[in-house]
Structure 1
Amino acid sequence: LLKATNLESISMTTNGTYLKEYAKLLKEAGLDTINISLDTLDENKFKHVTKSDIKPVLEGIYEASSLGFNIKLNTVLIRNFNDSEIIPLLEFAKDVRARIRFIELMPVGKLDFFNRSKIFYNDEVFKLLEKTYGKLTALAPDGSKSAKRFLIESINTEVGFISPISSPFCDGCSKLRLTPEGTIMYCLRTNSGINIKKIIREEGLEAFRKLMPDIIRQKNISNEYIINNDYSFLDCNRAMTSIGG
């Protein structure tokens, strides 16, 4: 995929369950960045949310760190569930030389438990980190512009804030997501996308390469559509676990 598109890098989003087993192969295949969902370090809470054990996930993160991957930890904060773990999660990120992103809870997919009282807003996180570590120095946006990035100089760790509820970023978003089924999705807020696996298998990589400009145009159209609908989560009924970030 890197050769076909001339992309500078490719990242993969994973729950980390089998990361320890496959990290070396992924590195050899050219993957350089891994996004890992990690909402808690508490074994019981992790089991409650994921229905699986946390041990292999943590082992996978340590393995990826030792192999030199760029690691981003994605943490969705839920009030009165994991908001007490903000500092421990940040310290863990520091230990494995990872960047951490705190993400506001979004009504993506069928979340029966979602209501606004469960949202832990990122301005609250920012104030807590400033109180604990001192000044946070603003960094330039990354390519996707979805995260506001800061460096905590006292511990030399990068933290990002993704705030789709309190501060929507659709107008500056350039991110495309590739699902496990081979579909490129334009946005988390809709189901719109195109299945490139079918195109590549039937017509080859050159057909996909020629299609890229149109995919980018469709991404821009999707952004405008969302903005014109007050940043609503319009018709996305997929779970985040099936989309990635």
Structure 2
Amino acid sequence: MTAPKTDPGPAPTEGPLIDTFGRVAGDLRISVIDKCNLRCTYCMPAEGLPWLGRDEILTVDEIDRLARLFHTLGAREFKITGGEPTVRRELPEIVGRVCALPNVDVSVTTNGLTLDRLAGPLREAGLNRVTVSLDSLMRHRYAEMTRRDAFAKVEAGLKAAREADFDVVKINCVVIRGTNDDEAVAFARLARDHGHDVRFIEYMPLDAEQSWERDKVVPGEEILETIAAEYPLEPVTQDAPQPATSFRFADGAPGTIGVIPSVTSPFCESCNRMRVTAEGAFRVCLFALEETDLRGPMRAGADDAELERLIREALWGKWAGHKINHPDFVRPGRSMSMIGG
């Protein structure tokens, strides 16, 4: 990646959302709540975290306003996240408003615990893509990793998602050495059986208890080799750079396999992602050490031009990459559930 100028000057006031490295941001992750009904060991403590008050999280209208603003600035991919987004009762309304924007690709990432009753309403709201976070296909191991005996609920949620006829039902699996790294082939089999897109995500240092260890990272290449030994794979041609490197099954079976090697092979050079946390903090990188408050100015009466200025200036200052593999790496102060997936 080309280094930015020593003094890149002020942020552009018009045109696409761009940083000093020439990356154009068009993918926005909006967290609608920080609360979660699981206590995943790689994310938060067993007792949970201090939750935001109801008046601290963005209202439905504030989320709608920001989504519309980012849309006018070029965002076309929107992911609704949490915490666990289904914990928020207005989720179908929020999804409906974002899906009403023209020419957008909208998805929701959920742990699937209540998807059995929400798949229908979300589909009716216009959603056509859903991602379920699932790290084990074994009930006892799922309970150990999430501290909840709820695997049957996730199974029911996936079944409901298939029956709701979403265009895409994706599964995200965080792989941890010595915990669930022996399940790659089982997940591939699930993809083949039901036509799911399964994405394996390298274990990242985003847990609230800061117990992440590099030795527990399973490289994406290793996961692919394990699956390919059982089910030969062939690469999927992608029109534009994506975080996940995707593969189809060589024998023509349905479903796809992908890896997101955020640790061993970061995709920072082509990153087009932005994030808004549940309380309205704008983050230009998952591992950012600084945030820009959008909620405060909104509630103080700022117009869209002022919000756009804040967004452009924050993005203009985006760094080259997250430095996980550098000796001066500094972990963000927030865990994944507080940031938004």
Distance 1:229 1:87 in 2: 28
Contact 1:90–1:100 (8 Å) recurs in 2: yes
| Residue of 137, 159, 167 corresponding to 2:235 | 137
CA RMSD of aligned residues (A): 3.0
Structure with the higher helix share, 1 or 2: 1
Relative distance call for 1:87 and 1:229 in structure 2 (3 A) is closer
Quote how far apart the aligned CAs of 1:74 are: 0.9
Q: Which amino acid aligns with 2:221?
A: D
Give structure 2 stretches of 5+ with no counterpart.
1-63, 77-103
Distance 1:194 1:67 in 2: 38
Q: Which amino acid aligns with 1:67?
A: A
| Residue of 156, 159, 168 corresponding to 1:62 | 159
Contact 1:184–1:194 (8 Å) recurs in 2: yes
Relative distance call for 1:61 and 1:104 in structure 2 (3 A) is same
Distance 1:140 1:33 in 2: 18
Q: Number of paired residues? A: 242
Q: Tell me the percent identity.
A: 27
Quote how far apart the aligned CAs of 1:213 are: 7.6
Larger radius of gyration: 2
Relative distance call for 1:149 and 1:228 in structure 2 (3 A) is closer
What is the SS of the residue equivalent to 1:234? Answer: coil
| Residue of 190, 193, 201 corresponding to 1:95 | 193
Contact 2:198–2:258 (8 Å) recurs in 1: yes
1:16 equivalenced with 2:112 (yes/no): yes
1:242 equivalenced with 2:338 (yes/no): yes
Contact 1:61–1:96 (8 Å) recurs in 2: no
The higher-RCO structure (CA 8 Å, 6+ apart) is 2
TM superposition score normalised by structure 1: 0.83
Q: Which amino acid aligns with 1:137?
A: P
Quote how far apart the aligned CAs of 1:139 are: 2.5
Quote how far apart the aligned CAs of 1:186 are: 2.1
Q: Which amino acid aligns with 2:183?
A: E
Aligned to 2:172: 74
What is the SS of the residue equivalent to 2:259? Answer: strand
Q: Which amino acid aligns with 1:17?
A: L
Contact 1:174–1:219 (8 Å) recurs in 2: no
Contact 1:135–1:152 (8 Å) recurs in 2: yes
Distance 1:229 1:119 in 2: 12
Distance 2:194 2:301 in 1: 42
What is the SS of the residue equivalent to 2:171? Answer: strand
Quote how far apart the aligned CAs of 1:240 are: 2.1
Give structure 1 stretches of 5+ with no counterpart.
none
What is the SS of the residue equivalent to 1:83? Answer: coil
